Amino acid sequence: MPSSDLRQRVDELLWYHTIELPGGLVTPGWFDLRPIVELMPWPDVRGKRCLDIGTYDGFIAFELERRGAAEVLAVDINDHTKWDWPPDMRATGADNLAKLAGPERGGGFRLAAEALGSSVELRSVSVYDLDPAELGTFDVVTCGSLLLHLRDPMRALEAIRGVCGGVFLSAEQIDLSLTLRARRKPLAVLNGVGSMCQWWIPNRFGHLQMLRSAGFGVDKVSRPYAIPYGASHTPRTGARRVVDESLQRVALRGVGVPHSAALVHPVV
């Protein structure tokens, strides 16, 4: 499509992911995974059947395709009302998000796929409803920054294990303070209120323990890293931001949302 048309269509959407499109156009996402993508412990996906869970705008799904996957299925929920909203937000959370991001999820994914000439398939499937009888199993499964938004992350991980026939790459937000204070003890912070739809944020060891408890064996683990904020992210203000960013620069060698990634395989 003409670059002017593509730019206009990009500007009409609210983007979660920063994605490079043809003609030097970059989507103004909330988060930019490009600087950290090589820090994740990727398996060899060439010729493999792959699944990306909670894909949103599709950055990881398109990365799987770019790395040579033979088939990529991307799944997410396209209905804001079906999110795991905390009780204080169930009446208004979906409507508020729809006003901000549009009434239906998937617009950014579809436009990016069209612009990239991608063959990644997008389906509306909840992580809780992953069913090998319906979807089959996959050589490589990926999931990024989703567990913190789930009321029952362990149930989700067991559903992921059910469709994982090879390896699972789990990249999740971690609590940096808990990670530094308890390096070998699994801990998590419970939120469960507010419009961010956040529930559990573990420390690095807690993330690994969640994976083990769900029936996975750990193969590789990344060092903690920070996912940078994208162009659409509203900058934080105040003294707390200064303290947090100073700690991130020392511990993560960058500023953003603390994450850790693990490559695991089913053992149960």
Q: What is the pLDDT of residue 2?
A: 63
Containing domain of residue 109, as a range? 39-223+259-266
Rounded Cα distance, 75 and 18, in Å: 19
Q: Is the pLDDT of residue 100 over 70?
A: no
Q: How confident is residue 128, by pLDDT bands cut at 50, 70 and 90?
A: very high
Q: Is the pLDDT of residue 103 over 70?
A: no
Q: Is the pLDDT of residue 194 over 70?
A: yes
Residue 265 gets which letter from DSSP? E
Q: What is the pLDDT of residue 216?
A: 98
| More reliable by pLDDT, 23 or 163 | 163
49 near 69, Cβ under 8 Å?
yes
pTM comes to 0.95
% of the chain surpassing 70 pLDDT: 97
Average pLDDT over every residue of 214-226: 98
Q: Is the pLDDT of residue 132 over 80?
A: yes
Q: Is the pLDDT of residue 104 over 70?
A: no
Task: Look up the CATH number of the domain holding residue 206.
Answer: 3.40.50.150
DSSP codes of every residue in 216-260 = EEEEEEPPPEEEPB-TTSPPP-SHHHHHHHHHHHHHTSS-SEEEE
Q: In angstroms, how far is CA 100 from the centroid of its own chain?
A: 19
Please report whether residue 96 resides in a domain: yes
Closest CA to 176 of 198, 200, 202: 202
Closest CA to 159 of 119, 223, 212, 214: 214
Instruction: Give strand ranges (E) for 87-244.
Output: 121-124, 138-144, 164-173, 188-190, 200-202, 216-221, 225-227
Tens-digit pLDDT profile for residues 232-265: 998 788 888 999 999 999 999 999 999 999 999 9
Q: What is the mean pLDDT of the chain?
A: 95
Please report whether residue 44 resides in a domain: yes
Please report whether residue 80 resides in a domain: yes
Please report whether residue 189 resides in a domain: yes
Please report whether residue 247 resides in a domain: no
Please report whether residue 22 resides in a domain: no
Number of domains forming the structure of the chain:
1
Please report whether residue 23 resides in a domain: no
Please report whether residue 243 resides in a domain: no
